[in-house]
Chain A
Amino acid sequence: MAEEHQHQIYLQPIPVRIWHWINAFGIVTLAVSGAQIRFPEYITLLGSYKSAIYLHNTAGFVVAISFSLWFFYYTFVTRTMANLYVPKVEDLKTGLVKQAKFYFLTYFLGWDNPHHPTPDSKFNPMQKSAYLAIMFVMMPLVSLSGIFLTNVDPLRGLIVMIGGLKLLAGLHFLLACCLIAFIPTHIYLATMGRTPTDHIKTMWTGWEEEEEHDEKPETGGVTSGH
């Protein structure tokens, strides 16, 4: 084992990988079934309307549960949630700008990624901010609004108080659009490793190639982290 992974680091433990792929599959299912529920005249990919609804509810349930397990794992098992996902002061002050400069300028010049992922610091400042918004704001809100929408009758009082069913459904729809919009960006950034499939393999095997730190930025064409 140690032999085999000499120049590699174990970046994505099994629970995280399982969660990631359940989540990925679930979100794609939700997007397709959700589209059929909203536009039944035009989209009939999943057969009957009823099967789209049952699939959407089931996938929503699975994603919400797996989200909770993910949350539990990082907060209580590895206890690295805050460290991994909450940007630090220097991340916000200088890190964000540095990372943005890399993505939008120095990357094209062939420089190295200023961020080197380790199990304790998997994400660069931009990733941290994006994931903070997605995992701590959008995912909980989209799940919560989904739970409300499947229990309209019992929760009517609360829904009216919030501002109505239309507001709730609109919120659910727009949040879903944001999460869908994240997919192409996410997949694209995942191809920015050493080789286009590097990061994707990591999410499957758990192991990431280690940096060769002695290389100079100008010549270290290959990069790591997205």
Chain B
Amino acid sequence: MKRYNVLNSLWLGLLLVILALPLSVAAMEMEDCLGCHSDVDEVGDDLFIDEDKFLPTEHAEMGCVTCHESVTDEHPDDGESVSSADCLDCHEELGSEYMATAHAENASCSDCHNPHQVHGIEAVSGPDMNQQCSQCHEDVDVMDSHSQWLPQASLHISKLPCITCHTSAEAYEIVLNITQKKKKSEGGKGYRFSTYDDLKQYSNDKEIQQLIDIDGDNHISLAELRTFNKNPEYTDLHLSGTMVPSEVSHDLSTLDNRYDCTFCHASGPGSMQTSFVAFPTEDGRYQRMSVAEGAMLDTLYGTPNFYMTGPTRSAAMNIIGLIIICGGFVMPIGHGTLRFLTRNNRKH
């Protein structure tokens, strides 16, 4: 019985090797392509593919040839031009949604997306996302036009991804990024997003996630958030929050309800339930970790620097405030009653 099994798997293994052999011989593999195309000296700037950015993407799993079908073994010596797939072939839903909007005449998919560096919304920071837009919409112009109607325009523009206001979405979620004080050598003032290497200096031999997720359970509790925020060693770090669509849509037509502040600001504390911390990864992307529900509403230490007038108001503060205001009526009511009852004492 046992021998039969071993023999069987041997055959199976041999079969697999035989089947795989012709594939690797016949066509160029991804490594072959990258052998030339990830080397600037070989192909020049225009045809350069950044291997470190390409390999972690979903697109890398398909290999080069899936999208560049016409490439031959003689490439590049054959002088034939290589075909490139159309995004719409595979991204029907988002693609057709975008193509139906007026903006499709202004920008094509690859104006915003480098097909060799794609990422989902969860793997990119707000500022990086806005980089796509600022290629054509210059920051100063955007600031100028938005500050004509948007209170605190610079705060909104610097904090929010453009697509939070400029695309529709069923739901939104809060994403917190670790930011750090700029060093003197970096031009001083303000904060910038921490990179993986920056955070590694704080976490030393531990994973950077454990700066916040102390128990390593891949989930951030309110207690862990508070501990992080109060840790005196991290005074230069703070969590900066933003609001992003839960799911990407590509309807870039201007949305009237974003003109009405209450779309976000009257969404109530219920809209603040889902949140994540986005940790930078070694390859310049981000990886999210879920945060305990409602942590955004913690009175003081949960997220001390995320405050959105309206939805993030704390219930505890409201109660204290109400008690204080009621205190203001003690004198008129209490004293007033006694004053009324003793009014005869003050008459002649």
Which residues of B from 145 to 160 have beta carbons under 8 Å from A? 149, 151-152, 154-155, 158
Is B304's CB under 8 angstroms from A163's CB?
A: yes
B317 touches A (CB below 8 Å): yes
Is B265's CB under 8 angstroms from A164's CB?
A: no
For the residues of A in contact with B, the DSSP-based class is: helix
Contacts of B190 in A (CB 8 A): 156-157
Look across to chain B and name the residue whose beta carbon is closest to the beta carbon of A178. B324
A103 touches B (CB below 8 Å): yes
Contacts of A48 in B (CB 8 A): 260-262
A222 touches B (CB below 8 Å): yes
B110 touches A (CB below 8 Å): no
Look across to chain B and name the residue whose beta carbon is closest to the beta carbon of A40. B266
Contacts of A107 in B (CB 8 A): 339
Is A181's CB under 8 angstroms from B335's CB?
A: no
Contacts of B238 in A (CB 8 A): 160, 164
Contacts of A221 in B (CB 8 A): 345-348
Contacts of A40 in B (CB 8 A): 261-262, 265-266, 310
Min Cβ gap A37→B in Å is 5
Residues of B in contact (CB 8 Å), total 51
Look across to chain A and name the residue whose beta carbon is closest to the beta carbon of B239. A164
Which residues of B from 333 to 348 have beta carbons under 8 Å from A? 335-336, 338-339, 342, 345-348
Is A185's CB under 8 angstroms from B331's CB?
A: yes
Which residues of A from 156 to 206 have beta carbons under 8 Å from B? 156-157, 159-160, 163-167, 169-170, 173-174, 176-178, 180-185, 187-189
Enumerate chain B interface residues (CB-CB to A < 8 A).
149, 151-152, 154-155, 158, 181, 189-191, 229, 238, 260-262, 265-266, 268, 299-300, 303-307, 309-310, 312-314, 317, 320-322, 324-329, 331-332, 335-336, 338-339, 342, 345-348
8 A-B pairs whose Cβ atoms sit less than 8 Å apart in the complex? A37-B309, A109-B345, A160-B191, A164-B229, A166-B304, A177-B322, A181-B326, A181-B328
